[in-house]
Structure 1
Amino acid sequence: MADEERRPKKKGNIVVWTILGLLILALGGFGVGQFGGTLSTVAQVGEREVTVQDYANAIRAEQRRLQQQTGQALTIQQMQQFGLDQQVMERLLSLAALEEEARSLGVSVGDAEVAQRIRSNPAFGGISGEFDREGYTFALRQIGLSERRFEQRVRAEAAAELLQAAVIGGLAVPEAHTDAIVDWLAETRDVTFAEVGRGTLDGISRAPTEEALAAFFTENAAAFEIPETRSLTYVWVTPTLILDEVEVPEAAIVARYEELGEEFRQPERVLAERLIFRDRAAADAAVAAIESGETDFDALVEERGLTLVDVDMGDVARDDLDAQVADALFGLEEPGLAGPVETSLGPALFRVNAILDATEVPLDEVRDDIRANLARDAARRQIDAAREEIDDLLAGGATLEELAQETDMELGTVALRPGASGGIVDYEAFREAALAAEEGDFPELLDLSDGGLFALRLDAVEPPRTPELDEVRVRVEQAWRDDDDARRLAEAAEALAARIEAGASFEEVGLAPETLDGIARDGVVEGLPRALLTDVFEAEQGDVIARRGNPRTAYVLRVDAVNTPDPADARTAELIAAVEQQIRAQMANDLYGAFAEAVRADIGFTVDQQAVQAVQSQLFGAGGQ
């Protein structure tokens, strides 16, 4: 048995792990098999042992935590791949080191504290929620611990918490540090800005010379690259393609209409709310108070600590209710109160908010929809019935062209490249198969999401290429004009900004300004580029900024005021408290993590890799998903 000296690779979140350790021991092991045999421990820190059951429980707890966060259950192998099993071991070693340090310092808690912690643990609560002595014994048996052993663990963990409090109890967050962060987060700006439009350029885009166009194309060749193009031949059939060929008898339409009768026929219904009372006297008193004007239904609901959502019954038909309740609710000629009525839950007062008449949709109004649905179902069955024949033809060496001649499948070709759409290209299954296909592959019959079938053949692959200028001349000319317009607008905006910074007003330089006050650092201003707002918070008060927008717009903006947060403002006070709490938690984690790491290094520890592997093997073999 080889013991290996180990050192932590990461600082664990010791504060969180101290709390999590209790849950692991109290809850983590339920459903975990016992680990017997000659192996009893996976690690030792000083005199503190980490048992195989401790490690198994911790692994299981980590699996459940990850499943709750991600919705996926990781296997032991996946945990190993991501190093999660190592993280679990690091946490156990850190916790053991702190418990051992507390023991060596003589830090401990009394029996009363241990008893209180055990009694307050929800894992040991009975049906009433109170501590269940038999449940306590059973729970410990399930995780392979004796009462004595478990109570020792609780005492050790409580002592480690005392040690934690001593280490981090005196932490103070520097006020200057908090103020600097809050000032940065809550600072706002007041600005004046204006849009510089194409009117500045006389509204006319310039035409490029041949030399300028060629140079622009060379500099921006990547923007005009033709991506890989896959030329494909395919055959396909879908319910929609053969829908018109499907005959649907009138009798089938009528039968489906009757089958779906509840969708087309609605009985009389009411929208109602129900308030239950403890006895008939209380219900009668409530009705009397409503009739006298002392209260109303809404107030009664609120007095009971309920909301209207809690008492809402939705829309109900007579058949949904007991006969006595139905008579009371459907006996009303208009919305109002009904009751008290005796129910299985006690006397109840009902409020009917609306009476909905019975409705019926005639067959003629839905005949076309029913026929279309029946035809689509029949088309799917027809396609499914033809699957074997098509497969046999492909297996016999039939080409896609021959399939189109001998079956209902249609032949087509497509040049597939990024951004292509329409027809069969809109099906994800086709795109995936087309991208995976290689020249010379034998066509395979595959499914489409709507019940259709297809097969394809890759005819050629044209790799990405830079086209000749003449192939994309129109696109290049438009891109050149857009770039030229945007560049000239930016130059005009910069010239105007320089005049404003020199003392001219926005109006004097021919701009129509707008003002915005209190722009937040993470704010969004409709119509202004996000990059311009970023510049605003890098500028000082009085700075004037020019920013290129799109080919039709540029902007000039002046920072009128830099507003620091008011410490007396309630929102600022909340932010200060939140920042202080976060900084304190980070400092506590770092300090306590460093302390735990130093303690572990001083005490020394060993990890039995053979025992670790045995636990992981048993968990995996037992379906440790």
Structure 2
Amino acid sequence: MAKSGKSSVSRYAVWGILLLLVAGLAGFGSGGLGGNITTIGSVGETPITVQEYQNGLQQELNFESRRRQQPVSMQTALQEGLDVRVRERIAAASALTEEARVMGLSVGNEEVRRQLQQVPAFQGPSGAFDRDAYEFALEGSNLRPAAFEADLRRTAARQLLEQSVTGGLTLNPSYAETLYGYLGQRRSFRWANLGADQLTTPNATPTEEQLVAFHKENAGQFETPEIRKISYAWLTPDMLVGDITPNEDELRALYSERSEEFNQPERRLIERLGFVDAEAANAAKAAIDADETTFDDLVTERGLTLEDVDQGEVARDDLDSAIADAVFALTEPGITAPVETSLGPALYRVNAVLEARQIAFEDVRDELVEQASADQARRAVQDRLDEIDDMLAGGATLEELGNDTELEFAQIDFFDGAEDGIAGYDNFREEALLLNEGDFPEARELSDGGIFAARLDEIIAPTLPPLDDIRAEVVAAWDAAETKRRLTELGEEFQTKLAEGATMEDLGLDARTEADRGRTEFVENMPVALLVTVFDMEAANETAIVPADEGAILVKLIDISAADLEAEEAQNFLSQLSEQGSAAMAADVFELYGQAVQARHGLSLDQVAVNAVNASMR
């Protein structure tokens, strides 16, 4: 079974790569960078092409942009080493291609043909493989069929190689059973809060000697944070937007772009339920009218769900005239009479009537001005990025940027956790923590489209303020610590009495019982340490003291229940973990194999070509 599963996965992987080869190569010429550079290196005799690297970079940028929910520039990619990750990934794939070549591993023409026939982009109106559609799709990506099919053949060979290396690897069942036995164990226990109200006397007033010692021994609690004194120059769209006045043509164009948002025809939210013939449709409508059934019941009887019959939001022009007449004749939610359609008779349910919307240009002019100004401001800031980089490279200081450009110069006493002003940007906070004294300022981007450059002027190490400067804070901290100490001592006395047979109620405690709790659960408003402590206990009737924010918690274990390995939940867990563990084991084995293969064949990179590709992506 495991072998069959891998074969299926491999088929899907090949199909996916087929689509990526077509879609991913769009926009890149077959000649590389102006036809002068076609490869960036090789593994053995297998070249790493410019196209492969360009495509990999673009896919990485797209992925990171989606993951971060904001555009990721090539400059950022280079700073964070994303280009290195792409090259490592491509080199690993090229190493496997080289290994398959050396081994003589390949697939026949028939398998290549079969794979091509299953790609939707290569199919004609009939659903069958269409040579013209195939060549047209490749032509749009500047690919020739022979080159594309060679890529497909190499990809399939790599898949065969992977199957031969990792096929049959499965996780030992005892691993999953042991893990679930640990995670699925359950425990019952009783617990009670020990608070200051349990203490019969208030804390004594601390002596000067006690405060001095406490202040010194807990210096980390009272130290000021490390201060990083940073100078910076920055420019954000908000700084420019007030000076921008979009012209009328720009506003009209933006209004036109958003016309579907501002001007919408009357619409309906509808569902469609089809029938085999008019008689069945009429009978169903009559039964609904007589309250003998409902539209929902009819959907369920057909083995469908409401998602299956949902047609979404439609305008009159979205429907055939007969359907539109029936649907739009309803001025409130309801069900139409049977309607003849190209797929047979059907009932349509109107779930909502959405009125037409016509918003005049003048009514949204202010909104359009705001959007157009913001868009122009963002573009204006981004247009200055290279200019600022060049000025910094030419020796300009941040102060000069503040005097000679639109950038504003400022300084900040930055510490980890600061969020005021420019420190409110994640990008700046990350950069501020990485800066070293003497670093050359470089232009960086902000999440809202702004730019900045920063310089670390000085680091002020954490310092412990004198006791007299923070005496009230130290006294309060000492008092809290003293309360916890006394409550812990009281808890230890209670533990002794519990061991002698007393109950928590005998001790005057307001106790609670937690029955059959799991290791990964939580007790509301209680620290995580409570359950951690409970599951560290080894036998029933064992007791423990758990530290809490304002006191302590006394806990007593009642019993331990072993995990039920036969339960449905357990079986699902074991099955899923076995699959995941087997897949992870296969991935690890294949990664080690790939590293060995790459080391054997050798990787050579042309750094000049790599730099040229990187520059072309900016």
TM-score grouping bracket, smaller chain normalisation: 0.5 to 0.7
2-structure distance, mates of 1:514, 1:95? 59
Residue among 76, 79, 99 paired with 1:78: 76
1:29 equivalent to 2:25? Answer yes
Report what 2:111 is aligned to: 113
* Cα separation, partners in 2 of 1:213 and 1:609, compared to 1, 3 Å: closer
Report what 2:364 is aligned to: none
Please report the TM-score for the alignment, with normalisation by the length of structure 1: 0.62
* Cα separation, partners in 2 of 1:595 and 1:300, compared to 1, 3 Å: same
* Cα separation, partners in 2 of 1:616 and 1:126, compared to 1, 3 Å: farther
Report what 2:200 is aligned to: 202
Q: Deviations over 1:141-191 (max 9, x none)?
A: 344432122212212221221111111112121233222322233233221
Q: Deviations over 1:203-261 (max 9, x none)?
A: 64444345444544555566567899xxxxxxxxxxxxxxxxxxxxxxxxxxxxxxxxx
Report what 1:387 is aligned to: none
Q: Tell me if structure 1 keeps the 8 A contact 2:18–2:119.
A: no
Paired-residue identity, %: 35
2-structure distance, mates of 1:95, 1:35? 22
- Counterpart of 1:139 in 2: which secondary structure? helix
Q: Tell me if structure 2 keeps the 8 A contact 1:15–1:589.
A: no
2-structure distance, mates of 1:18, 1:297? 43
2-structure distance, mates of 1:313, 1:150? 39
Deviation at 1:63, TM superposition (A): 2.4
Report what 1:135 is aligned to: 133
Report what 2:493 is aligned to: 495
Code of the aligned partner of 1:540: E
Q: Deviations over 1:375-423 (max 9, x none)?
A: xx9xxxxxxxxxxxxxxxxxxxxxxxxxxxxxxxxxxxxxx999xxxxx
> Superposition pairs for residues 93-112 of structure 1, below 5 Å?
93-112=91-110
Q: Tell me if structure 1 keeps the 8 A contact 2:278–2:345.
A: yes
Code of the aligned partner of 1:33: G
Q: Tell me if structure 2 keeps the 8 A contact 1:171–1:584.
A: yes
Q: Tell me if structure 2 keeps the 8 A contact 1:289–1:295.
A: yes
Deviation at 1:200, TM superposition (A): 3.0
Deviation at 1:349, TM superposition (A): 5.6
Report what 1:305 is aligned to: 304
Residue among 522, 527, 530 paired with 2:528: 530
* Cα separation, partners in 2 of 1:344 and 1:97, compared to 1, 3 Å: closer
* Cα separation, partners in 2 of 1:275 and 1:103, compared to 1, 3 Å: closer
Report what 1:410 is aligned to: none
98-107 or 475-484, which moves further after superposition?
A: 475-484
2-structure distance, mates of 1:565, 1:41? 57
Deviation at 1:272, TM superposition (A): 8.6
2-structure distance, mates of 1:270, 1:149? 49
1-structure distance, mates of 2:22, 2:466? 72
Report what 1:544 is aligned to: 543
Question: Bigger radius of gyration, 1 or 2?
Answer: 1
Residue among 473, 481, 500 paired with 2:479: 481
- Counterpart of 1:33 in 2: which secondary structure? coil
Q: Tell me if structure 2 keeps the 8 A contact 1:17–1:91.
A: no
Report what 1:364 is aligned to: none
- Counterpart of 1:545 in 2: which secondary structure? strand
Report what 1:397 is aligned to: none
Q: Tell me if structure 2 keeps the 8 A contact 1:59–1:85.
A: yes
1-structure distance, mates of 2:414, 2:77? 39
Residue among 153, 172, 175 paired with 2:173: 175
Code of the aligned partner of 2:116: I
Deviation at 1:493, TM superposition (A): 0.6
Deviation at 1:133, TM superposition (A): 2.2
Q: Tell me if structure 2 keeps the 8 A contact 1:53–1:143.
A: no
* Cα separation, partners in 2 of 1:325 and 1:107, compared to 1, 3 Å: closer
Deviation at 1:53, TM superposition (A): 2.2
- Counterpart of 1:85 in 2: which secondary structure? helix
2-structure distance, mates of 1:175, 1:95? 32
- Counterpart of 2:524 in 1: which secondary structure? coil
* Cα separation, partners in 2 of 1:507 and 1:15, compared to 1, 3 Å: farther
Residue among 183, 187, 190 paired with 1:189: 187
Deviation at 1:93, TM superposition (A): 2.3
2-structure distance, mates of 1:138, 1:573? 50
Please report the TM-score for the alignment, with normalisation by the length of structure 2: 0.63
* Cα separation, partners in 2 of 1:312 and 1:209, compared to 1, 3 Å: farther
The size of the alignment, in residue pairs, is 471
* Cα separation, partners in 2 of 1:18 and 1:69, compared to 1, 3 Å: farther
Q: Tell me if structure 2 keeps the 8 A contact 1:50–1:96.
A: yes
Report what 2:231 is aligned to: none
Q: Tell me if structure 2 keeps the 8 A contact 1:489–1:548.
A: no
Q: Tell me if structure 1 keeps the 8 A contact 2:186–2:519.
A: yes
* Cα separation, partners in 2 of 1:308 and 1:132, compared to 1, 3 Å: closer
Q: Tell me if structure 2 keeps the 8 A contact 1:329–1:352.
A: no
Residue among 150, 153, 156 paired with 1:152: 150
Code of the aligned partner of 1:536: V
Q: Which runs of 5+ in 2 are unaligned?
A: 1-9, 228-265, 316-322, 354-366, 368-412, 433-460
Deviation at 1:521, TM superposition (A): 2.2
> Superposition pairs for residues 428-577 of structure 1, below 5 Å?
474-501=472-499, 503-542=501-540, 543-551=542-550, 553-577=551-575
> Superposition pairs for residues 177-576 of structure 1, below 5 Å?
177-202=175-200, 204-217=202-215, 219-220=217-218, 275=272, 283-292=281-290, 294-302=292-300, 303=302, 305-307=304-306, 329=331, 339=337, 474-501=472-499, 503-542=501-540, 543-551=542-550, 553-576=551-574
2-structure distance, mates of 1:590, 1:170? 14
1:59 equivalent to 2:63? Answer no
* Cα separation, partners in 2 of 1:61 and 1:354, compared to 1, 3 Å: closer
542-551 or 497-506, which moves further after superposition?
A: 497-506
1-structure distance, mates of 2:578, 2:339? 57
Q: Tell me if structure 2 keeps the 8 A contact 1:27–1:123.
A: no
Report what 2:232 is aligned to: none
1-structure distance, mates of 2:43, 2:62? 27
Q: Deviations over 1:492-522 (max 9, x none)?
A: 0122123324554434444443221232222
* Cα separation, partners in 2 of 1:351 and 1:106, compared to 1, 3 Å: closer
Residue among 594, 601, 604 paired with 1:603: 601
* Cα separation, partners in 2 of 1:502 and 1:124, compared to 1, 3 Å: farther
Q: Tell me if structure 1 keeps the 8 A contact 2:268–2:328.
A: no
1:589 equivalent to 2:579? Answer no
Q: Deviations over 1:559-579 (max 9, x none)?
A: 233333211011111111222
Q: Tell me if structure 1 keeps the 8 A contact 2:182–2:563.
A: no
* Cα separation, partners in 2 of 1:66 and 1:126, compared to 1, 3 Å: farther
Q: Deviations over 1:253-273 (max 9, x none)?
A: xxxxxxxxxxxxxxxx99996
Q: Tell me if structure 2 keeps the 8 A contact 1:198–1:489.
A: yes
2-structure distance, mates of 1:16, 1:216? 65
Q: Tell me if structure 1 keeps the 8 A contact 2:30–2:143.
A: no
Report what 1:405 is aligned to: none
1-structure distance, mates of 2:165, 2:328? 68
- Counterpart of 1:152 in 2: which secondary structure? helix
2-structure distance, mates of 1:15, 1:341? 43
* Cα separation, partners in 2 of 1:193 and 1:134, compared to 1, 3 Å: same
Deviation at 1:593, TM superposition (A): 1.2
Q: Tell me if structure 1 keeps the 8 A contact 2:498–2:504.
A: yes
Code of the aligned partner of 1:549: A
1-structure distance, mates of 2:308, 2:30? 48
159-168 or 518-527, which moves further after superposition?
A: 518-527
- Counterpart of 1:554 in 2: which secondary structure? strand
- Counterpart of 2:536 in 1: which secondary structure? coil
